[in-house]
Structure 1
Amino acid sequence: MPKEITLCSPLDMHLHLRDGDMMKLVTPLTAETFSGAVIMPNLVPPVDSLELLLAYKKRILSSLGGHQFDPYMMLFFRGDYTEAELAAAKEYMLGIKLYPAGATTNSEAGVKAIDAVEPVFKMMEEMGIPLMVHGETHGFVMDREKEFLASYDYLAQKFPKLQITMEHITTADAVALLDEHENLRATVTLQHLIITLDDVAGGMLDPHLFCKPIAKRPEDREALLQAALEGHPRLMFGSDSAPHPVEKKECCGCAAGVFTAPLAIARLAQLFDKHDKLDNLQAFISDNAQRLYGVEPAEKLVTVANVPFEVPTAYTGHDQHVVPMHAGETLDWNVTSIKA
C-alpha cells in the first residue's frame, strides 16, 4: 500500500490569480485542492479601494469552476488611506499588501519611502489590520531581501501591535529575524524550499524558475527548509504561484514568476516525506495560517499518496498557455482524493 496523508483545509497564503482569461484558467487549478488563498492585489490598475476589491472578488468567485474556495482579499497599500476607508474595507479584507515601488510585477504604484507612510501603519495597528510586505530594496539582486530586513526590524519595534508578514522569504537572515519579534510572521514558497540560484542560471538559463525574490544560496534554502520541516509556528506556506503566458517567459526580458499551483500540494508532500516530516505538513500548509490570521476555512480533506504524478508540459485554456514548475517530470506523490 502506498504511503498517504490527508490534509485538512490547505491554505495558500500568497497567490496570484491575475485577471481576465488567465484568471479563468488558473483559478480552478488552486480552488480544486486548496480551501482558500490570499489573493495578491497587484493588478493593473492595482486593487487599492473597496470598490475594486469587491469587484475583483466577484470575478474570482465566478471563475472557481464549481470548487469550494475562499479568496482572502487584500488591498494594495496606498500612503493616503483615510481611517474611514480602512474601517469600511476591514471586514472584506485579510490585510494590506505593501510593495516597494517597482520591486516586482505591476508594483510601480508602490511605496517609495517607508517613513513617509507611517500614519497608515499607525492606523492599521490601532484597527488590527495586518500588513503584508514584499520585502526587497533596489540594491544588488542577491542582497535585496537582506537589505530590507532593517525595515522589518524598524517596523516591528515601532509598531509592536502591528502584525507584519514577511512575504516569500528567501534567506537564512530572514528566518533568524522571524524569531526576534513576536509580531513578525512569514510565508515561504515551494520553489525556495527546493531550488537555489544555480538551478535558475547555473547552466542553461531556466526562465520557468526565474522569480522575485530570486532564489539564493544553498545555505539559505537549507535554513528555509529546516524552519518549514520543523513546523515553525509563524511560518506559513505561500506559493507565490505566478502565472505568465509562455511567450512572456520564454523570451528576452523574461517575466518573473514560477507557476506551481497545480502541483504544490503533491510536491510539498514529496519534500516533507523525503525528510520524514510528513506530520508537520498540516501545520505548514494550514494550521499556522488559521491561528495567525484567525481564518476558519471550510473543511476540505485532501489526501496525497506516494503514487506517480506526471506534471503536464503546460496548462492551456481560454487562449492561455502556462508552463508549470517540473513541467514534463514525474513526481513521487499525487493528490488521490478530495472531499469538500
Structure 2
Amino acid sequence: MVITISDPLDMHLHLRDGDMLEIVAPLSSKTFSGALIMPNLVPPVTTKEAVNEYKIRIEKAKKEHTFTPYMTLFFRSDYTKEFLEEVKDDILAIKLYPAGITTNSEGGVSGFDLEELSSTLNAMSDLGIPLCVHGETGGFVMDREAEFIPIYEMLAKNFPNLKIIMEHITTKEAVAALDRYDNLYATITLHHLYITLDDVAGGLLQPHLFCKPIAKRPEDRTALLNVALGAHPKVMFGSDSAPHPRNSKEAPGCAAGVFTAPIALQALAQLFDKHGALENLQSFVSDNAKRIYGITPPSKEVVLEKSEYLVPEIYENSVVPMFAGQSLEWRVVRAG
C-alpha cells in the first residue's frame, strides 16, 4: 500500500539553535514543506532583527531541502501596533508562554491581566496576527491544561476577531472548547495521540516520553484521536518535537520534550491506517493548517509505503527519537 501526502506541515516545531539546529533542521526539512518555528530561544525571539537572523540560520541549516520556516515572536505585552505593523510580514504568529511553565519560558506572562495584555492583543487582532498559546497554569501537573480553559474562554470572548491556537492540547476539556468558540483552533502532537501518562511513568520511567504538557489519561487521548482521525476542521498537526541532548534526558532533572520530527509522518500513517482513517491524514497534516493560517507552502510530495521501518536509536550521537530502535509499519520512500 502506498499513499502520497502533499505539502505536509508541522505547525509547532522546536529547532533550537547552534549545534542542535544543525542536527535537527534537516530532519524536518527533508519530509515537511514548512513548519511554525517556536521562539523560545535564549534569549527569546522578540525583535525583527532576531526573527530574521534566526530565519537565516534555519535556512542555512535545512540544507538543500524545500522547506519554509514560518517564524514567530515571543509574546510581550508591550509590543506596540507600530512595531507589529513593521514585523508583520516577517512572522506568521506570536507565541504566548505562561512564565516558567516549560523550556525557556521564564520571560513569559505572569498572570493574565486583561488590561495589561489588551494593547498587544488588540493590535494583533487588527493586523490579523494569530496568537499561539501554551495553555497551562502552575497548578497540579495533571490539571494544568484543564485549569487554563477559562483563560482561553476569556481571550476568545474579549478578542473575537483574534485567531487563537491552543497549542499541543492534551485533554478532553480542550477538545470540547474547540466547538464553543469560533476563533479557537488547536494543534495536536504525535506523542499525545499515542501515549498516556501510564506509558511515561506506569513502569520504569521513560525519560524520552516525558514532555510538557504531560501526557494525560486514556479518555483524554481518545478525545484527541476522535478529532484528529476525523479531520476536524479546526485541528492541525503540530509535533512539538522538542530535541534535547541525550545527557539532558537521561539524567536527574530530566528535560521535558519528545523528539518526533524524523518519524512523525511514518508514525502518523501507522496510526491513521490502524484506525481506518488514512483518507483524513492529508487534512490533519496539511490542508487544515493551510486554511487556518492562510498559507501556501512550497510544493512537496511525500510518498509513504506500508513496509517496515526501523527507527534509529539516536541521531548524531546526541538526540534520541520517539520509538528509538523500534519498527514502524510505514516508511518514507520519496520526498520532494
Fold similarity call, TM over 0.5: yes
| Unpaired segments ≥5 residues, structure 1 | none
- Deviation by residue 1:196-233 (Cα, 9 ceiling, x = unmatched): 00000000000000000000000000000110000000
Q: Which residue of 2 aligns with 1:211?
A: 211
Q: Which residue of 2 aligns with 1:332?
A: 329
Q: Which residue of 2 aligns with 1:171?
A: 171
Find the aligned partners of 1:262 and 1:338 in 2 and give their Cα distance. Answer: 12
Find the aligned partners of 1:48 and 1:92 in 2 and give their Cα distance. Answer: 12
Q: Which residue of 2 aligns with 1:85?
A: 83
Q: Which residue of 2 aligns with 1:268?
A: 268
Tell me which amino acid in the other structure corresponds to 2:259: F
Find the aligned partners of 2:49 and 2:333 in 1 and give their Cα distance. Answer: 39
> Does structure 1 residue 251 correspond to structure 2 residue 251?
yes
Q: Provide the secondary structure at the position in 2 that maps to 1:117.
A: helix
Shift of 1:113: 2.0
- Deviation by residue 1:8-34 (Cα, 9 ceiling, x = unmatched): 000000000000000000000000000
In the alignment, which of 4, 15, 18 is matched to residue 17 of structure 1? 15
> Does structure 1 residue 62 correspond to structure 2 residue 60?
yes
In the alignment, which of 38, 46, 49 is matched to residue 44 of structure 2? 46
Shift of 1:144: 0.3
Find the aligned partners of 1:79 and 1:301 in 2 and give their Cα distance. Answer: 40
Shift of 1:141: 0.1
Q: Which residue of 2 aligns with 1:314?
A: 314
Q: Residue 309 of structure 2 contacts residue 330 of structure 2 at CA under 8 Å; is this kept in 1?
A: yes
Number of residue-to-residue matches in the alignment? 334
- Deviation by residue 1:69-122 (Cα, 9 ceiling, x = unmatched): 000000000111111110000001001000000010000000012222122111
Tell me which amino acid in the other structure corresponds to 1:238: G
Find the aligned partners of 2:104 and 2:118 in 1 and give their Cα distance. Answer: 23
Tell me which amino acid in the other structure corresponds to 1:168: H
Q: What pairs up with 1:12-161 in 2 under 5 angstroms? A: 12-115=10-113, 116-161=116-161
Find the aligned partners of 1:178 and 1:305 in 2 and give their Cα distance. Answer: 33
Q: Provide the secondary structure at the position in 2 that maps to 1:96.
A: strand
Shift of 1:159: 0.5
Q: CA RMSD in A?
A: 0.6
Q: Provide the secondary structure at the position in 1 that maps to 2:283.
A: helix
Q: Provide the secondary structure at the position in 1 that maps to 2:12.
A: strand
- Deviation by residue 1:141-200 (Cα, 9 ceiling, x = unmatched): 000000000000111011000000000000001000001011000000000000000000
Find the aligned partners of 1:65 and 1:273 in 2 and give their Cα distance. Answer: 31
Find the aligned partners of 1:4 and 1:275 in 2 and give their Cα distance. Answer: 16
The TM-score normalised by the length of structure 1 is 0.98
Q: Provide the secondary structure at the position in 2 that maps to 1:321.
A: coil
Tell me which amino acid in the other structure corresponds to 1:205: L
Find the aligned partners of 1:234 and 1:304 in 2 and give their Cα distance. Answer: 25
